[in-house]
Structure 1
Amino acid sequence: MAIKGDVESDLQEGIREPLMRVEKNLADGDGSADGGSSRGGNPWMVYLSTFVAVCGSYEFGCCAGYSSPTQSAIREDLSLSLAEYSVFGSILTFGAMIGAITIGPITDLLGRKGALRVSSAFCVAGWLAIYFSKEAWSLDIGRLANGYGMGAFSYVVPVFIAEIAPKNLRGRLTAINQLMICCGVSVSFIIGVLVSWRALALIGLIPCAVNIFGLFFIPESPRWLAKKGRHKEFEVALQKLRGKDADVSHEAAEIQDYIETLDRLPKAKLLDLFQRRYSRSVIIGVGLMVCQQFGGINGVCFYVSDIFDQAGFSSSIGTITYAILQVVVTGIGAAVMDKAGRKPLILVSASGVVLGCLLTAVSFFLKVHELALTATPILAVTGILVYIGSFSIGMGAVPWVVMSEIFPINIKGQAGSLATLVNWFGAWLCSYTFNYLMSWSSYGTFILYAAINALAILFVILMVPETKGRTLEQIQGAINK
């Protein structure tokens, strides 16, 4: 046991050595370590690659937003009972959990572009199954396939963007993932009112087509190519991403040093995630997903119309306002992430979510006890809008950004799959229990969510590091000491 401990200590020291060299270069003013300050660089290929990747995020939103505007039409056309339609709606999250479990190893085996193609293929198959459906079982198969694609996209998109982006753009570009999800949900809701449910399924194919076609024109992740030993392709991909005139020697050397060090470690297995050297990054990644989902977001999102109805406010006006605010604030959060920093943004966000929960709880408390009934609807809508606005500016996007940054590349597949699985399990549990909690106590439900989000603030303060302006290798070396 002592010999094993010495070997692990030497290997961990080996990881720190290249990181210390990079940090020395940066301190001496010599480093363009992550491309953020590469001389003569032009990031247009990074922008194009990000656009292609976030088509998957938009597709995610299309899948998530499909069931709400189509419920009555599908039930009428196919004579589905409420229970049958409930299965159709909820099976999406089970597909997403399967996608979350399996996409990590697929991403490591086929590359980031290969995983994006697999994700799109499942969504295409899902939409076609839904479009041609005449029975409940084919609807469910299509929805399950869509869910798999969603779960896969939720992991591979932020990982791909984080690995190709310069450090000065990484947070902003990775946060576009959440913005495009919001856009997909909102657009599907609006279009779904205007077209048939079969036509809406065909429209869902468009972002998949753009993603699959666009992948032919963008490079693979340089870090994945380096990990696979494809050194010539690694250099070509990195040069394309930073611009033909950019000096990428420092960044290339840093990545190669880091990969060579990781290659000296044993091949990672799922149980390796629970080793002490990885424990902090795993706790941070999984903990942020718990904070994001168990704070009530999917309960509020799935049943916002019913919340407004119960509070005595117009559900149509409230829902439209909710959708617009979500997109606008998510965009603001993406724009300021690399300036404000990840940690301050998520702390402000979680604090606002607590306030929104408390305002909504007060509203339902007044209604239950028949106090100040004229103020109840305004208080409720204010609380919900504060909740979703606060969530969108930080809690929605930052956990995915941090998750894509903190895991060493040798465990990124397994760790990312675990974090994404926890996220989708939380999404299912929250949406499943929301109506039961509201039946128990409407104001008690939001007090419970407020308490969970208050604990999230404490978790972020104690555990989550600031990753702004640091290379992936620096972040991972600091966390996994």
Structure 2
Amino acid sequence: MATKGDIEDENGSLSDPFVDHRKREAEEHCSSGNGGSMMVYISTFIASCGSFQFGYCAMGIASIICILEWIAIYIAPLLVVTGLAVAFAIGACVSWRTLALTGTVSSILLFVGLFFIPESPRWLAMFGRQREFEAALSKLRGLGSDISTEQADIEDSLAIIRQLPKISIPDLLSGRNIRLISIAVVLMAFQQLVGINGINYYAAEIFKSAGVSPSMGSILYSSTQVVITAIGATLVDRAGRRPLLMDSVFGLFIGNLLIGSSFLLKVYIASFSIGMGTIPWVLMSELFPLNIKAIGGSLVTLINWFGSWVISYSFFYLFSWSSVAIFYLYGSMCVLALIFTIKFVPETKGRTLEEIQALMD
């Protein structure tokens, strides 16, 4: 991400702690009792755990409260990339330390806002807290709204869930479940292995290597992501999951080749935004039966974050090794992802959960 510090002073680059003498000095201080490097590693670990835990809990709350499926498909990805675009724009005007501190503003607002979020109606109903369940649902839908139909639907769905067998981790690896989990896990792994977060995090370095203004390039890059994500969201139900996913992966392959030869990022980010960035999450929600959604979703989310860490950690070293070969490597991952999509990923557009399960048998 381009920041003012990156542009004005190369010594302020975010990559410096990985490559210059200050890392060695920090390690020497750490061994002599200073502990500077250890504090960096610990703070990074805590921040990562916090962002994962908050994001996972927020996603869980949203999935329970939001009855309208289109919110998850259309709005959520668009808000994510819009936030990324805002961060790129702010980063072009301030130093990376100031950019990091601005994140505390949204964190504080989110923390305060959590106190005003009502308890999940489904959770209350699950534990037999009927009066609180009705009050929470009424608050969410607006006082005076008729909640009788939705209340009955929730109670019926919970009755069905109670009849389903409880699932443990070994159960995920047996029978039909292993195929469902494998599709979701592999798609999430490929979502990261095509290189998206490495390119996102080091966009400034890539633009600088290409002789382009890091600030302007990053803003145009993130703006393209917002526009194409909005277009892709409207096509998810019209074009279908498989066609968009295959087009997206093929475009990513072409984009990686173009980045490797000419640093043309627009094709890459547009291809990612139209399919690979969103559809793995949509497919995960559609493929899993009700009784494995929680534990299966946790496993798939873990794989996604682990893949993000691997790509983010390795990108700078691979880019330093070869600014061309790294994108050809990501391109080879796109080829594998395309083959996997064609051979194993089902089309779920317009199908009910029962029809999808029958398709997987």
Correspondence 1:304 to 2:203: yes
Whether the aligned pair in 2 keeps the contact of 1:346 and 1:395 (CA below 8 Å) is: yes
Residues 275-316 of structure 1: per-residue CA shift (max 9 Å, x gap) = 224223312221220120111212222333333344444444
Match of 1:281 among 180, 198, 210: 180
TM-score using structure 1 length: 0.60
| Cα gap change, 1:231 to 1:274, in 2 (>3 Å) | farther
Whether the aligned pair in 1 keeps the contact of 2:190 and 2:333 (CA below 8 Å) is: yes
| Cα gap change, 1:159 to 1:81, in 2 (>3 Å) | closer
Cα offset for 1:209?
3.0
Letter aligned with residue 152 of structure 1: Q
3-state SS of paired residue (2:89):
helix
Match of 1:160 among 61, 78, 92: 61
Correspondence 1:388 to 2:269: yes
**Alpha-carbon distance in structure 2 between the residues aligned to 1:358 and 1:242:** 49
Cα offset for 1:218?
4.0
Letter aligned with residue 358 of structure 1: L
**Alpha-carbon distance in structure 2 between the residues aligned to 1:135 and 1:394:** 42
Letter aligned with residue 434 of structure 1: F
**Alpha-carbon distance in structure 1 between the residues aligned to 2:141 and 2:355:** 21
| Cα gap change, 1:196 to 1:306, in 2 (>3 Å) | closer
Whether the aligned pair in 2 keeps the contact of 1:278 and 1:480 (CA below 8 Å) is: no
**Alpha-carbon distance in structure 2 between the residues aligned to 1:229 and 1:208:** 33
Cα offset for 1:201?
4.2
| Cα gap change, 1:283 to 1:82, in 2 (>3 Å) | closer
Residues 184-205 of structure 1: per-residue CA shift (max 9 Å, x gap) = 3332333345446565444322
**Alpha-carbon distance in structure 1 between the residues aligned to 2:140 and 2:240:** 24
Whether the aligned pair in 2 keeps the contact of 1:345 and 1:394 (CA below 8 Å) is: yes
Match of 2:230 among 323, 327, 331: 331
Letter aligned with residue 163 of structure 1: I
Cα offset for 1:388?
0.6
Letter aligned with residue 406 of structure 1: L
Whether the aligned pair in 1 keeps the contact of 2:3 and 2:92 (CA below 8 Å) is: no
Whether the aligned pair in 2 keeps the contact of 1:408 and 1:476 (CA below 8 Å) is: no
- What residue number does 2:310 align with? 429
Whether the aligned pair in 1 keeps the contact of 2:92 and 2:215 (CA below 8 Å) is: no
Match of 1:185 among 66, 81, 84: 84
Unaligned runs of 5+ in 1: 1-64, 88-133, 364-378
Whether the aligned pair in 2 keeps the contact of 1:406 and 1:479 (CA below 8 Å) is: no
Residues 189-233 of structure 1: per-residue CA shift (max 9 Å, x gap) = 333454465654443222223323333444444444444444554
Cα offset for 1:403?
2.6
316-325 vs 199-208, which deviates more? 199-208
Match of 1:401 among 273, 282, 287: 282
- What residue number does 1:461 align with? 342
Correspondence 1:450 to 2:351: no
Letter aligned with residue 394 of structure 1: G
Q: How many residue pairs were aligned?
A: 345
Letter aligned with residue 61 of structure 2: F
Cα offset for 1:458?
3.1
**Alpha-carbon distance in structure 1 between the residues aligned to 2:139 and 2:349:** 24
| Cα gap change, 1:446 to 1:475, in 2 (>3 Å) | farther
Whether the aligned pair in 2 keeps the contact of 1:406 and 1:475 (CA below 8 Å) is: no
Identical columns (%) = 44
TM-score using structure 2 length: 0.76
- What residue number does 1:418 align with? 299
| Cα gap change, 1:480 to 1:328, in 2 (>3 Å) | same
3-state SS of paired residue (2:166):
coil
Cα RMSD of the aligned pairs, angstroms, is 3.8
